[in-house]
A and B are shown apart, each in its own frame.
Chain A
């Protein structure tokens, strides 16, 4: 007996298969709701749904579901039931958004099924103002799904048929559609079939010249590559600048305020930078109402407040992607000096954040434009602030930072003192180098070593007396070889012949029991004599050429050769 299509659709076997498919769909939807895309449970749920739908097609040509508040029916038979109202109920979710029937065609289990799951999930979490499921379905334009929905009006209800997928050219992925598709003319009255090929499109602009067609294509491309938000921002600034009514200016300003926050939240720093630049420029125009000008000036000022900057830094840290340094620079360039405090505090405290490099580079720009503020920050009591400011000061090498750095050298944090020495060396001004000398007498070995090296690299001969004092100090005897070498290298690099006598004494003076100085000190002295490199120095080295101590002999030999 031949089974009609209708009978096939409603046979017990078909009904059971439909129920299975819908249960599987609901389960898959739950999985999409709960798990991330890379979760195997989610993938499994979707796969089960695919298989369940694939099992339908040998039993029916199309699955036509009627949607009710709490159920789905096929030919009047309930195939899915859920009494819950609310976002958890699948029938209610569809019914609520106006859907009254869904038709699924063979092939739905391909790309359309996961797409549909995504759309339903999106509709489930949508707010009142977001697109509902009908709109989402329309935009998605699924090839194997048709639907009917109701539209509520003030006076009644219209039922509409939709999802017929009227013929329209679809672009090749990654390409913009042609402004002038080439196609054959359609016979009058015939609807083009559902299609994806541009060539099937209705006949059009055959008479346009090729350059005109290209022009339209380029214009369409520009339509979708140009940032519309920037155009709208320009419109708002135009209003402030050109419309004479203050209320209008203030309304535009209020919108700008809001937009800047929104763009910041989205990480659209170039737009924020553009807004701040335009705000600054517009505020300076002669015809602007003072109140509007004040509002414009307040825009970057508000963004520069510590709380706002902290929020920005927090957002950058938490962001999924590291921010682009150039975009951040553009933004930071527009901020006021009050933004520097929270920035350096963050730099001083932040560990290995992916955003660090970009923030530091951008902060450097801001600091460079506000060195006075940076200098003040060096004198803050919070170590993180000082640390951050130190880093920037070192990179900027600004003389304005010298007093602050000198203060740090008098502080208790040895690590900071080392950084201060480095920063002073980078600055290299006379006052910086003079301040740096204090490190010669520092209680911390690393500070002293950094100081000796800095003095040597900067050829700061004014420090020679203090270096000599350091050499003569008894404490030097207990210093490690590294420190001794650093000190003597600094001394030797600066003293010239005037220092040979001192060095000769250390290298060659003998007592009853042999050389007076310990071998490492003598070796350091030999090193220094090598750096002096005069005849007197060479003569002093020669005297120790045959010394019995291997370490000293080796150092002397190296110094005489000119090796380092």
Chain B
């Protein structure tokens, strides 16, 4: 058994994790391996689905070898490395990653290396053995048993090796951004489960939802910028789920700015995560309908507010019902002057949490491409609109607080600097007075060339003559430049 190479190569790993090309290839390999495992589990080996999956796996392994010179998939703590590239979790791979991690743990292995181009049969044998590990042996003996089985089956193309130190890459080494991503993915998973289950009439409990919100609260309290940055990831098909998670993150961040305690943040976060659960009762065709909505469609969609109350009553919740979440689901489109929807027949004053969620909900919705909104507003324009347009019915003090949270140029805004560079806002400036001088990443130089190694810049930095080195002169539409904002937060 060989020691996995590059296990101490943190510099390379850090570079690789930020290299979109390496990530893409690694991701494809992991997804292909997971796909092949599933195919073998579900179908006979002769089945075309299996053969196709194996062929894809072989191809993706070869691509890894072409890029890196070798092909190894190893587990370090809770992460997968493809050679030296630590695989970044994303929407299209986190389930596959979790599955492979679990399989490696159960099999008692730390990784495998592809020594030479394996024939399809070799892949089938390997994956079959990995799926049926020798559980009758203690964990520390399973690797030896697997190696022995491979030898007996005459499959020399792979090398298996033991797990490295479990603590490496575990929580303590996990940087804030990766932790934030894990939290985000987990929350997305939970939200998808709750809303999907509610739609098909099953009743998932609130326990996992609460746990997810706790994770978000902890992440916001530790490093809000990383979590807020993740709200810029936009996945069209999963809009309802992503939107719910984003509103939760933004609301908790805002709540934290307002000085709410941990428990209050949990209450607010739970209400925010569930504010649109009523959409589980709105026909999917309507939610995904392209183009403008006719009045009947609009009315039907608007029912998601009170439908949310009914949906929350259907959730098994243990001893305490989520009253606050019900109120927020009902009120978040009402507007402060009650001119929104649903129209209440009985007098009421919107709760604070409803007002917070109204602001964050409106912000996230307006800045997202939707089925009926091909060109979302820029974050800065949305904030201006919220501040200057009282007919939106938002609480002006909450809006003011939200602008303070996001800065005048919120995270993910594409801005033009007076140096003619293009930059993306990465975080509000830690200097509280510098609302208009966020931290940015230069993505295009003054000649219009995309930069490969984006630099992080603090716009409060001054020149030797005490002038600001760079100043934002206007915002820009990223689509005009073919820039995918999400790539800079992935």
Contact = CB atoms under 8 A, between A and B. Distances in A.
B374 interface: no
A229 B325 CA distance: 11
A182 to B, nearest CB: 10
Contacts of B317: 129
Interface stretch (A156-164, A290-298, A331-339): A156-164
Most buried by A among B105, B265, B346: B346
Interface size class of B (residues with CB under 8 A): 35 or more
A220 interface: yes
Given A131-B318, A141-B262, A155-B98, A203 B222 contact: no
Contact of B344 (A153, A220, A234): A234
B395 to A, nearest CB: 8
Given A157-B98, A223-B353, A243-B306, A216 B258 contact: yes
B417 interface: no
Interface string A237-255: 1110111000010011001
Interface in A212-244: 212, 215-216, 219-220, 222-224, 226, 228-229, 231-232, 234-239, 241-243
B186 A158 contact: yes
B215 A160 contact: yes
Contacts of A84: none
Contacts of A235: 306, 309, 326-327, 330, 344
B95 interface: yes
B88 to A, nearest CB: 15
Nearest to A212: B397
Contacts of A126: 318
A151 interface: yes
A58 interface: no
A159 B345 contact: no
B482 interface: no
A315 interface: no
A187 interface: yes
A255 B313 contact: yes
A185 B428 CA distance: 13
Interface string B242-262: 000000000000001111111
Question: What is the predominant secondary structure among interface residues of chain B facing chain A?
Answer: helix
Contacts of B171: 148, 159-161
A180 interface: yes
Interface string A127-145: 1111110110011010000
A474 interface: no
Nearest to B263: A139
A465 B190 CA distance: 90
Nearest to B104: A156
Interface string B218-250: 100110000000000000000000000000000
Interface string B306-340: 10011001001111000110110010000000000
Interface stretch (A168-176, A411-419, A434-442, A495-503): A168-176
Contacts of B97: 155-156
A229 B323 contact: yes
Interface string B142-153: 000000000000
A219 B268 CA distance: 14
A158 B212 CA distance: 12
Nearest to A215: B397
Contacts of B207: 129, 131-132, 135
Contacts of B346: 234, 237-238, 278
B419 interface: no
B198 to A, nearest CB: 14
Nearest to A201: B259
Interface in A484-530: none
B99 interface: yes
B66 interface: no
B258 A220 contact: yes
Contacts of B101: 156-157
Nearest to B432: A203
Nearest to B103: A156
Contacts of A232: 309, 323, 326-327, 330
A538 interface: no
B357 interface: no
Nearest to A235: B330
Interface in A163-193: 164, 166-171, 177-181, 185-189, 191
A3 interface: no
A155 B95 contact: yes
Interface string B416-443: 0000000000000011110000000000
Interface string B376-404: 00000000000000000000011011001
A204 interface: yes
A168 B316 contact: no
A208 B397 contact: yes
A135 B205 CA distance: 14
A292 B317 CA distance: 27
Interface in B42-101: 77-78, 95-101
B345 A168 contact: no
Contact of B261 (A160, A177, A191, A255): A177
Interface string A106-138: 000000000000000000001111111011001
Contacts of A234: 344, 346, 348
Contacts of B432: 185, 203-204, 206
A550 interface: no
Most buried by B among A129, A132, A141, A229: A129
A158 B318 contact: no
B400 A168 contact: no
A168 B256 contact: yes
A206 B435 CA distance: 12
Contacts of A242: 342-343, 345
A448 B283 CA distance: 80
Nearest to B222: A166
Contacts of A239: 306, 309-310
A155 B259 contact: no
B459 interface: no
Q: What 9 pairs across the A-B complex have the smallest Cβ distances?
A: A161-B171, A156-B98, A166-B221, A156-B102, A228-B323, A129-B318, A188-B430, A155-B98, A130-B318
13 contacts: A129-B317, A131-B210, A139-B262, A139-B266, A158-B98, A159-B78, A159-B171, A160-B182, A168-B221, A216-B352, A216-B401, A232-B327, A251-B310
Given A154-B98, A206-B433, A243-B303, 20 more contacts: A126-B318, A128-B205, A135-B210, A153-B98, A154-B95, A156-B98, A157-B102, A161-B172, A177-B261, A177-B264, A185-B432, A208-B400, A231-B327, A235-B330, A237-B346, A238-B306, A238-B342, A239-B310, A241-B345, A255-B313
